Structure 1
């Protein structure tokens, strides 16, 4: 009795002096980022390069736990770490066959060997049994089983059932089938020899032995076992998953201690977008890349995140996340400017804007194609992405106010160092990320409010931030969904295939960034194309380099994401407007309504037409007195007696006159004064010298280009010249301008001075190239 007591005391002493090595729950663990359905996106090994993802018992399919215990250790819940019956059976088989046939190891003993590997000797087996007893003394059965689930070897650097399920089967261990549970049960017995990615037939045979054991034990019916045998052994190559690698890396960096991070990404959509972006990038010049971001507006969840065209490609700088990179947005901020202008009562949807050369305190913007369209309504100006009308609106609204409203809604602008918000920012002279742009465009598909993008399923929904009103966002989206914003885009972007999708393209200065961003009532989607190092890609711009890819992505989305347009808000009403005054038709006298346009009013506001830069007065009704018989104008200086009649006309902005019909131009000019009336000192008229109305300008035979010297007489300030609506240059008063003529046919030359007075000449060009 004393000897037994001494022995027990000695064992307790040795147990205290030499405790088993039990790792902490989070020791050396790897991590995995999952998609919204639990599929792995990207796996991160631990510091030793081992792929291990701890799981709770509740996170593993019950069929796996059931199969594991019945196949490996049927009396797991009854023994104290050692199963004497199993040991006796193992010894008997050893004697019978002359070699070890069955080890008799319990799951507790297997965990002990995993934690402290040893040689396959009798001393090693004794040590393993003692360690198993120590584990049983310190841990519960569930804790021991969890250690096995987390650390059992499955081949290569794969440890644990969760890592094995992800690596070989591409799914979490919670979704194992009967056949897959049997496969992962037997694999740790000989992981190198049974790896299903290398030896599928060996793996199948071993798996079938487990299935047969489950049937023999009566755990599975014959039908269930037969069905499990029919399932083929199909294993993925043992490569860690790498979907949405840049996002996964970002999420892992934000939560380095979390072993499992579940993102909002839809794995199937992610694969599709990555393939589409990669295929598109192969058409692009060397060292270029592309990015795409897809967001569901229902909960502002990111469904697909493609930060680079080629993650492993050093030439394309695939390690740079272009979804988060700050880049010049080109014209993509214009929709929010128009929305703010609608809210502030600066414009309505069909307000008259003038696309003509204008001077904004020394800033003279040109259009992308260097052409000018003259009078244009607000919706068309946005659709065609015209620069001068946008700068005019920003000047009316105020750059600081515009930038502050964007920043307040979460659109984080980065201005050049030392620079305050300025007019050029609406054309791209600032920087913003694709993520922020897509978030902002989501407001056009919802209620005008932005909401922070959600990248994790457990992230709380953010409070909405007002950007523009519900009504303004609807009017802007309606304009963008009506027509491609550039004529060249028609061959690439068939609007009939993209109903109810409001899209805007943009190109940064020097062809460094090409954008296409849009939204519907279901999703917001953005595409960026360019070089990550910021070097130009000449000839690549939004309509041809980004828009086709956006169209391809949107057309491939499932039907549930392509929802119909949202209803028109109550604050938006259909209306008919009159030019040039900009008023409602019913509030405008018929003779003052030179052009009618159907559009939308917001909150019953009908703002008048803006005055272009350099003109002190907006269009208005001009009332003058004339002689009823001669129809000539009279004033207080007239010496004769006249039969007075008052007439009126609606004045057009002076900048619009070169684009008006002859009838509209004549209607905008007051009649000449009667002979007995003194002429006011209004200065001389602007005249073009060097070319006359109706001239034929003919080049010598064989000449493909003709240089023409012209200057403006009577000009005030610098003169801006247009040839066939396209920018031709500037000149000082009295200074000649050399204009190159390269096309035969009718031509129109227009000169506009600093007071927006204009002169124009129609002429004919003949180039004899034969």
Structure 2
């Protein structure tokens, strides 16, 4: 054997030396053959296609060349594969890329007819013709296709060749490829085709310009049934299947492709153009959300409100479950604009972040009383939505009622720069300016954000509490990560850490507890007592001028965010978060599974003795106290400032001292007392509130009386008030006094104006100029306020 090999090598060597030209020619030919195929057979643009998390088609964009050509698909359904091979190339799995018998028979018939009447091409040859843009059917081109086809057989498997054909064959009109044809002609994916439908599509590429749905139906019907008969005769299908198949109707015209998530499709197209993308979208939920948005749009559009956006996130996986970028409005009202990523005025939707930040930093407890009184900061005068004041209200209730004045006062106390820092930590990308640029209005809509970032932040907060409870009181370093709408790798939450990332779990939990108590739209005050009600922490927001309405809700498992308004920024009466966005929010939540409420993060909480009336940490003189679990940083909060010790008579009607009462008859009493301006509004809504009792007349001692301007509250510029007829109205000055029996004396500059008792309001007819309004009570206490009056 070894000798034979040596002899063969010698003979080959001698032959090469003797026939150098022939050898070189043969080597060049082999090299040409080896590299004759391009690296990529098909380079034409393809459609961008998105599917649900289960592979269901959500939508597609037509390719740049105007063809419905889906991206290459490696999978060819068995029914279609069988029909194709039986119709086009019965010996596909046996030949090396070309079939000599078929070529000979086709050549003979063409010569006899004097024209091309039969092709004789294999599926592999057809693939090469498709890749070369359907060159003219000449014998020379056929020869080149034969060479290229044989080469392709070396490079690709039979299944890959079938996939090339199925993805690039023409099916009539501007439909290319099996996947696009299946949806366009039968409105379903190729794997769901019946035998009759698969046979129809298998025969279409044979003459796509002559026969396609809606044209030459009889010829198409004959070709389809002939193929079905053939596979029946080969025992591929049984007679029952055959008889049922030939009864199926042919498609009459193409179906429009689904457009279930059009704005997400456009977003994906910018990042992965021409690709087949599997998203995280739940198709069923997406369709339901589309229906909800459409129903509300039909109502809201009657009031000139044309745009709606909804985003649904899975808290645990941070995946997008539903993405509705806009309402089904008109082009005139910018239906193609994806509102989810657009910056809009936030209204009150940032208030929970302020509340959580103050809890986290130890400057607030949930039931701490905060002032809700007329407030001025220079020229800025925040107002509550209903123009009313509570005097003092718990921070928790102020958040659930979305009161503006307490929020601004809390922000002023907390610090604008500190709150701005927290917002930057949340990565709200549209908040780009310095703290001073936004000022105190940042809590009420002075800043802009988008639905994506806001939902991301709420989801991250919910996930923080979940992870803390599920992972032995540990946090994740990448908790506040971006959500995703791409199905694939899981979100990386980073490493476990004992340190909080932004807010501690207890502060977030207590924030959600506050938001859970928000009264729902169009429902009774006691909605939370019904067992069937889902527990949802939610917040609304309304921007200045009624331009943007927000509602965001969060449970242990889901976040739903809603924006309602006009894309062009036009404000409309009634465009209020609780009236327009909140109903959509709860309609969407009704389509989601129920969630258990968040587990209380005890390891970040401690029991603190709370003053029941003030919500502050209790002091020794607080009358009513209770132990509550609060965030650990709550131990740093201030003690109750609203309780003082008084010496009163036995009936607690008067303050007394030893000058008028014997020591054994003096009773020491802890008294809850608010500052005068807070008290003025507070006691209107709290009938059991008791003002500070005055000293009994026979007692020696000073009454501690205090008073404060209600309006104006500080130096300000006031324009002459006028009615609709242009007639000047009176200017009403108001003062609150702690003693209901006090008499007040009013002055403008040095001019005496008059006196008031009980109800301390004084009306003047102002003139233009600078004024100093002075008020003196009958105890000699004095307050004053400077005002500039202009026309």
TM-score, length basis structure 2: 0.74
Which of 56, 72, 85 aligns to 1:39? It is 56
Query: What aligned pairs does 1:395-544 form with structure 2 within 5 A after superposition?
Result: 395-414=412-431, 419-420=436-437, 422-448=439-465, 450-458=480-488, 460-463=490-493, 466-484=501-519, 489-490=522-523, 498-544=533-579
- Alignment correspondent of 1:566: 598
User: Residue 619 and residue 335 in structure 1: after superposition, are their counterparts in 2 closer, same or farther (change >3 A)?
Assistant: same
**Inter-partner Cα distance in structure 2 for 1:499 and 1:515:** 20
Aligned 1:136-535 pairs, distance under 5 A: 136-137=150-151, 139-140=153-154, 141-142=156-157, 144-173=161-190, 176=193, 178-196=195-213, 206-222=223-239, 225=242, 237-256=254-273, 259-282=275-298, 283-284=300-301, 285-286=303-304, 288-310=306-328, 313-360=330-377, 363-414=380-431, 419-420=436-437, 422-448=439-465, 450-458=480-488, 460-463=490-493, 466-484=501-519, 489-490=522-523, 498-535=533-570
What displacement does 1:505 show? 0.9
Question: How big is the shift at 1:609?
Answer: 6.8
2:656/2:666 contact within 8 Å kept: no
Q: Distance in 1 between matches of 2:68 and 2:325?
A: 25
Whether contact under 8 Å (2:76, 2:163) holds in the other structure is no
| Shift, 1:683, TM fit | 7.7
CA distance in 2, matches of 1:520, 1:533: 32
Q: State the 1:506 CA deviation.
A: 0.6
Is residue 622 from structure 1 mapped to residue 645 from structure 2 by the alignment?
yes
Name the SS for the 2:506 alignment partner.
helix
| Cross-structure match for 1:111 | 127
1-structure distance, mates of 2:317, 2:82: 39
Partner of 1:668: 692
Matches of 1:222 and 1:196 in 2, distance apart? Answer: 26
Cα drift, residue 355 of structure 1: 1.9
Which sits farther off after the overlay, 79-88 or 225-234? 225-234
Could you tell me how far 1:363 is from its partner in structure 2? 3.9
3-state secondary structure, aligned to 1:341: helix
Gaps of 5+ in 2: 1-20, 466-478, 495-499, 712-726, 739-746, 763-771, 779-791
Closer/same/farther in 2, CA of residues 100 and 366 from structure 1, 3 Å limit: same
Deviation of the 1:144 alpha carbon: 4.2
Q: 1:13 to 1:607 in 2, by over 3 A?
A: closer
Cα distance per residue 1:375-410 (max 9 Å; x no partner):
322222111111122122222322222222222133
Q: Provide the secondary structure at the position in 2 that maps to 1:516.
A: strand
Q: Distance in 2 between matches of 1:631 and 1:246?
A: 70
The offset of 1:248, in angstroms, is 1.8
Deviation (angstroms), 1:427? 0.7
- Give how far 1:67 is off: 3.3
Shift of 1:196: 4.0
Secondary structure of the structure 1 residue equivalent to 2:544: coil
In structure 1, what is the equivalent of residue 471 of structure 2?
Answer: none
The alignment's C-alpha RMSD in Å is: 4.8
TM-score, normalised via structure 1 length:
0.76
Give 1:656's aligned residue. 678
- 1:695 matched to which residue of 2? none
Summarize the alignment of residues 739-758 of structure 1 with structure 2, pairs less than 5 Å apart.
Answer: none
1:83 aligns with 2:99: yes
Q: Tell me the distance in 1 between the aligned counterparts of 2:568 and 2:296.
A: 19
Secondary structure of the equivalent of 1:335? helix
**Which residue number corresponds to residue 762 of structure 1?**
none
Quote the residue 1:601 is aligned against: 630
CA shift for structure 1 position 173 = 4.2
Please say if residues 41 and 131 of structure 2, whose CA atoms lie closer than 8 Å, have aligned partners that are also in contact.
no
Structure 1: 5+ residue stretches without partners = 612-617, 690-704, 717-730, 738-746, 760-770
**Range moving further from structure 2, 355-364 or 245-254:** 355-364
| Aligned residue number for residue 693 of structure 1 | none
Taking structure 1 as reference, are residues 194 and 38 closer, same or farther at Cα in structure 2, changes over 3 Å only? farther
Deviations 1:479-520 (A, max 9, x none): 2223326xx753799765651122211100111101111111
Aligned to 1:647: 668
Alignment partner, residue 614 of structure 1: none
Q: Once the 2 structures are TM-superposed, how far is the Cα of residue 145 of structure 1 from its aligned partner?
A: 3.6
Q: 1-side partners of 2:484 and 2:82: how far apart?
A: 38
* Alpha-carbon offset, residue 152 of structure 1: 0.7
Residues 639 and 16 of structure 1: is their aligned pair in 2 closer, same or farther, counting only changes over 3 Å? Answer: closer
2:584 is aligned to: 549
Number of equivalent positions? 693
| Alpha-carbon shift at residue 603 of structure 1 (Å) | 3.6
Show the 5 A alignment for 1:670-689: 671=695, 675-677=699-701, 679=702
SS at match of 1:660: helix
CA separation of 1:95/1:409 partners in 2, compared to 1, >3 Å: closer, same or farther? same
Question: Could you say if the C-alpha distance between residues 676 and 398 of structure 1 is closer, same or farther in structure 2, counting changes exceeding 3 Å?
Answer: closer
Q: Secondary structure at the match of 1:514?
A: strand
In terms of mean alpha carbon deviation, does 18-27 or 525-534 score higher?
Answer: 18-27
Give 1:116 deviation, angstroms. 4.5
Q: CA deviation at 1:322?
A: 0.7
1:629 positional shift? 13
CA distance in 1, matches of 2:77, 2:317: 30
What is the CA–CA distance in structure 1 between the aligned matches of 2:462 and 2:652, rounded to whole Å? 60
Cα displacement (A) at 1:166: 4.2
Q: Tell me which residue corresponds to 2:786.
A: none
Q: Are 1:686 and 1:715, in contact at CA under 8 Å, matched by a contact in 2? A: yes
Of residues 110, 127, 141, the one that matches 1:127 is: 141
